[in-house]
Amino acid sequence: MHSLTRTVLVTGASSGIGRAIAMDLLAQGHTVIGCSRDCRKFTKSQPNFFLLRWICGS
């Protein structure tokens, strides 16, 4: 069986559903680009996970 891996952008990856989706995709072997306004919640480095900080204007 051929396993297809993808690069996936997940918004809200620091908590809740976004975090659960990101973790599930990583467990399946995909590369995840996670966007979040609060990057302090990412304490462990994960292979195939890349963080983008979402900065909102005031």
38 Cα distance to chain centroid = 13
Region 27-50: what's the mean pLDDT? 85
More confident residue, 2 or 37: 37
| Domain spans in the chain, listed from the N-terminal domain onward | 7-53
* Residue pLDDT, tens place only, 4-19: 889 999 998 988 999 9
Region 48-58: what's the mean pLDDT? 76
In angstroms, the CA 58 to CA 55 distance is 10
16 φ, ψ (degrees, to nearest 5)? 65, -140
- Residue 56, pLDDT score: 65
Residue 31, H or E segment: strand 31-36
- Residue 46, pLDDT score: 83
**Average pLDDT, whole number, for the chain?**
85
